[in-house]
Amino acid sequence: MNNQSKNNKRFDWKDNRIKWKDIIKKEARGYEKGDDLGEVQEIGQEFVVTERGRLKKNKFYLPKALVSGYDGEVLWFNITETEAEDNFKKDNPPQMGEYSRYKSASVTEQPDVQAQERTESLGDLQEYLPLIEKRQIDKVGTDASYTNPTAGIKDWDTILKKGVRTLDEISIGVVTAVNDDGVIVTSEGAKDEFNFSKDEIQSYNGQEVMLKVNGDRVDQFKVKVPR
């Protein structure tokens, strides 16, 4: 990987590009808020196929023309989770030319990339995608935060009142407290309460907290709730 993109404000397509085949199995996210768009499975001529979910798999056919860039770990799109759900979640690939309307969109919406450079990049997009600086999103807007799972959650208060799912995608409640000992999760109707150590948190996508624990193990973390 060429590191010039980390030092130069202007984007150089000739020196900073990577082949599409090299991002198979990489994570895909929305550039604005870090929305989870799944894991890259296949590369088509006009689209990238991603898959999200553990029990129920959903496929997304995301237009290449809406790619923001690849930072060495994550493939970023100029697409929100809502847009992906509404427009690109499909059971079958789009027809040839169906995504041509997106080609007029900017390939990279970075303010330091000039329009002429973006236009020239469209030709290269069939074979290469741009490399960009690693992106860290914290406290986007008023209540959204995306933290790279490998980096750890920096501000634990951002997950308060957020939904919690197990590793096998079972919703178990919301975060009601965070302390030095762990994360307190309360089920709907306050029927049950769980205390998970911070080490049991796998990731946070700005909307939900994902645990490292499967649903069949959550009872091990249940605490007695005073009645």
d(CA 68, CA 24): 17
Residue 154 pLDDT: 74
Place of tokens 């799109």: 77
d(CA 39, CA 28): 6
Query: Band of the pLDDT at 180, cuts 50, 70, 90?
Result: confident
Structure token pair of residue 63: 């237009």
Structure token pair of residue 209: 């907290």
User: Which of 221, 150, 152, 143 is closest to 181 using CA atoms?
Assistant: 221
pTM of the model: 0.52
Chain-centroid distance of CA 217 in Å reads: 26
Contact 39, 61 (CB under 8 A): no
Query: Band of the pLDDT at 227, cuts 50, 70, 90?
Result: low
Q: How many Cβ atoms are within 10 Å of 171's Cβ, its own excluded?
A: 13
In the predicted model, what is the mean pLDDT of residues 157-175? 90
End-to-end C-alpha distance for the chain, whole angstroms = 58
Name which of 9-13, 33-37, 46-50 the model is least confident about. Answer: 9-13
Place of tokens 């989870």: 36
Q: Which helix (H) or strand (E) holds 8?
A: none
Contact 1, 18 (CB under 8 A): yes
In tens, the pLDDT along 97-147 reads 898 888 755 444 443 444 344 444 445 667 777 787 776 554 333 333 444
Residue 152 pLDDT: 56
- Residues of the chain above pLDDT 90, percent: 28
d(CA 184, CA 49): 36
Determine the Cα angle at 206 with ends 197 and 69, to 5°: 120
Residue 155 pLDDT: 80
Dihedral (CA of 111, 42, 91, 204) sign: negative
Contact 41, 51 (CB under 8 A): yes
Structure token pair of residue 53: 């979910």
Q: How many Cβ atoms are within 10 Å of 25's Cβ, its own excluded?
A: 7
In tens, the pLDDT along 54-75 reads 667 899 999 998 988 888 888 9
d(CA 188, CA 226): 16
Place of tokens 């690939």: 93
